[in-house]
Structure 1
Amino acid sequence: MKKSIQSKSKMKHVIRYIVVSILLIWSLFPVYWMLNNSFKNRIEQFSDTPTFYPNQVTLENYMTLFLELGFHKALLNSLLIATVATTIAVFIGALAAYSLSRYRFIGRKGLLVWILLTRIFPPVTFVIPLYEMMGNAGLLNTRIALILAYIAFNLPFAIWLLIGFFNEVPFELEESAMIDGASPFQTFRKVVLPLIIPGIGATAIFTFITAWNEFLYAMIFIQSPELSTVPVALSGLITEYLVLWGPMSAGGILSAIPIVLLVYLMQDTFIKGLTLGAVKG
C-alpha cells in the first residue's frame, strides 16, 4: 500500500516536472533563438537549414546597431524616460494611496472608482486628448511629453496597488508615533513607508516595465529619431522592402537586459512585495 502511494506521488512529481519543463522551453526558446540569431551573419540567418548555434560567431549585428543605427541613443532615452516617469508615479502614488487608505472624506469612494476607471480604459483612448494637450503646451517631440503621458497612465495603477499595501499596516503603529510627538508626515515617512518598501519595489518594477515597453505614445508624440525610445527604434528596422533580422535580434536582447537586471537586483523586494499581506498572523 505504501509503495503504491509512493509510486503515485513520484509519478505526480514527474508529470509536474515534465509540464513545467515544457512551459519553460516554450517560453524561453524564442529568447534563445533571438540571442542565437543576433550572433549570426546575414548568410547564415537566411540559410535553408536552420542552425541552433552560430557556425561562426560575429558581432556585426551589434556593431551595425550602435555604429550605424545609433541604437544607444534609444536605450538612453528609454532609460531616462522610464526612470523619471516611474519615480514620479510611485512617489505621487504613495502619497495618494496613503491618504485614500487612512482618511475618510466625502467622495472618497467615488474618487476610487474614478481612478479605477481611468486604468480600465486602454491607452489608445487617451491618445487624442493627450496629443492635443501636449501640442497646446508645446511639449510634442520632447521627452517631457512621454514622461507626463506615462505618469498619467501608470499613476492609477500605482495608487490602487499601493492602497492594498498601506491597508496591511496596523494603524496602531501610527497612533503610537503620534503620541510620541511625530507629525502625520513624519509618521508616514519614518513609520509606514519603511514597512511597505517591498510593495513600493514591486509597484516600481511593474511601472518601469510598462513605461519601458510602451510603443504607441512614443511613436505618436516623438517625431525626431534622436529622441526615439527602444520600441520605436526597433520598429524602424522593419521597412517596406527589408527587415534587418540580425540588428533587430541584437536590439531585442539589449532591450531585455535592463529589465532582467532590475528584476534580478530587486528580486527579494519584488517577491516580498507580491506576497505582502498574503499571510496574516
Structure 2
Amino acid sequence: MNRAARAAQYAALACYLVFLAFPLFWLLGTAFKPPQELGAADPAWLPERPTLDNFRAAFAQQPLLRSALNSLLVASSAASLSVLLAVPAAYALARRRSLTGRLATGWILVSQMFPFVLVVLPLFLLLRQVRMIDSPAGLVLVYVVWNLPFALWMLRGYVTAVPVALEEAAATDGCGRLRTLVSVVLPLLAPGVVATVMFSFITAWNEFFFALVLLKSPSRQTMSVVLTRFLGDEGAADLGPLAAAALLATLPSLVFFALLQRRLVTGALAGAVKG
C-alpha cells in the first residue's frame, strides 16, 4: 500500500472518530455551561465560565445515585447471566452440527428482528402472572432473554475458531466434555466472553423501553428512565441538569469499556497450538 492510500485511510479514520466523539464533546461542554451561556443566541462550543451548578441541580432534582445503583445491579446481573447461559449453549451449537442446530441458529437470527413493541405486551402479561412486575429481577430476566440470541451468535463464532484438536488432546488425557469446556475451551474464549459481557452490560445499561414499562416505583427505576424527568410537562428540557445527568449516565459505559477493551485484542488463541 502506497503512502497516499495509507494517508487517505488515516484521514477517513480520523473523520470517523471526530464524528463519533462529537456528541460526547457537545454533552461535556453543555454540562459545564451556566444558564446564561445555554440561553445565548449563538452559544460557544466550550463554556466560557465553567460551573458545577448543573451537576448540583441534577442531584438535587432527581435521585441519580439510587437510579445509577439500580442500573448497575440490573446491567451487571443481566450480563453475567447472559454469558453464563450463552457459553455452554454456543459450545453445543458449534460442535454438534445437526439439523436441530441449524434450525436453532436460524431462529436466533430471526428473533433479533422482533421489535420491542411486538413483545412488550406479552412480556408484561407473563410477568404479571408470576408477580414480577415492578421488580428488578423481572427486568433482568427480560434483558437476559433479549440479549441471549446475540450472545449465542457471537460466542458461537469464537467457539468455532477453537481447534478441535485441542479438545481431542484433552479427551485423550481423560477429560470429560464438561472438564474440556471449562479447562480448555473457556480460557481460549476470553476475548469473546469479554465482548459478550460488554455488549450485554451496555445494552442493559442504556435500555429504556422495557424499564419504563416494567418498573413503576420511582425507587426502583433505572437511570435511563430517571433522565426523562428532566423534561417538563410541555416537553421543555432543563438542558443544563439534563446534560450533566446524561454525562454521568455515559461514564459507566466508558469506564467499563476502558477496563475491558484490552481483553478484546488479547491473542489468547495465538499460542494455544504451539509446541
Q: TM-score, normalised by structure 1?
A: 0.88
- Aligned-residue sequence identity (percent) comes to 34
**Paired position in structure 2 for 1:257:** 251
Alpha carbons 2:188, 2:269 under 8 Å: kept:
no
Query: What's the C-alpha RMSD, in Å, of the aligned pairs?
Result: 2.4
**Paired position in structure 2 for 1:116:** 109
Q: How does 1:94-133 map to 2 (within 5 A)?
A: 94-104=87-97, 107-133=100-126
**Residues 228-251 of structure 1, C-alpha deviations (whole Å, 9 max, x = no match):** 112111122112233111111111
CA shift for structure 1 position 16:
4.2
1:229 to 222, 232, 235: 222
- Are residue 65 (structure 1) and residue 34 (structure 2) matched? no
Alpha carbons 2:79, 2:201 under 8 Å: kept:
yes
Unaligned runs of 5+ in 2: none
Alpha carbons 1:38, 1:249 under 8 Å: kept:
yes
User: How many angstroms apart in 1 are the aligned matches of 2:184 and 2:168?
Assistant: 10
**Paired position in structure 1 for 2:170:** 177
Q: How does 1:157-172 map to 2 (within 5 A)?
A: 157-172=150-165
Alpha carbons 2:89, 2:152 under 8 Å: kept:
yes
**Paired position in structure 2 for 1:219:** 212
Moved over 6 A (4+): none
Q: How does 1:43-58 map to 2 (within 5 A)?
A: 43-58=36-51
CA shift for structure 1 position 11:
4.7
CA shift for structure 1 position 261:
1.1
Alpha carbons 1:38, 1:247 under 8 Å: kept:
yes
User: How many angstroms apart in 1 are the aligned matches of 2:220 and 2:178?
Assistant: 38
**Paired position in structure 2 for 1:5:** none
Q: Identify if the C-alpha distance between structure 1 residues 21 and 109 changes in structure 2 by more than 3 Å, giving closer, same or farther.
A: closer
Q: How does 1:126-145 map to 2 (within 5 A)?
A: 126-145=119-138
CA shift for structure 1 position 127:
0.6
Alpha carbons 2:162, 2:269 under 8 Å: kept:
no
**Residues 166-218 of structure 1, C-alpha deviations (whole Å, 9 max, x = no match):** 11111121122122121211111001100111111111111111111111101
Alpha carbons 1:199, 1:276 under 8 Å: kept:
no
Moved more, 49-58 or 226-235: 49-58
User: How many angstroms apart in 1 are the aligned matches of 2:231 and 2:168?
Assistant: 59
Q: Which amino acid aligns with 1:243?
A: A
User: How many angstroms apart in 1 are the aligned matches of 2:269 and 2:133?
Assistant: 40
SS of structure 2 residue aligned to 1:266: helix
User: How many angstroms apart in 1 are the aligned matches of 2:75 and 2:231?
Assistant: 24
SS of structure 2 residue aligned to 1:208: helix
Q: What number of residue pairs does the alignment pair up?
A: 271
**Residues 147-179 of structure 1, C-alpha deviations (whole Å, 9 max, x = no match):** 000001000111111111111111121122122
Q: Identify if the C-alpha distance between structure 1 residues 117 and 10 changes in structure 2 by more than 3 Å, giving closer, same or farther.
A: closer
CA shift for structure 1 position 109:
2.0
User: How many angstroms apart in 2 are the aligned matches of 1:21 and 1:106?
Assistant: 46
- Are residue 246 (structure 1) and residue 240 (structure 2) matched? yes
Moved more, 151-160 or 262-271: 262-271
Unaligned runs of 5+ in 1: 1-7
User: How many angstroms apart in 1 are the aligned matches of 2:14 and 2:107?
Assistant: 43
Moved more, 82-91 or 174-183: 174-183
User: How many angstroms apart in 1 are the aligned matches of 2:101 and 2:111?
Assistant: 16
**Paired position in structure 2 for 1:4:** none
**Paired position in structure 2 for 1:78:** 71
User: How many angstroms apart in 1 are the aligned matches of 2:92 and 2:63?
Assistant: 45
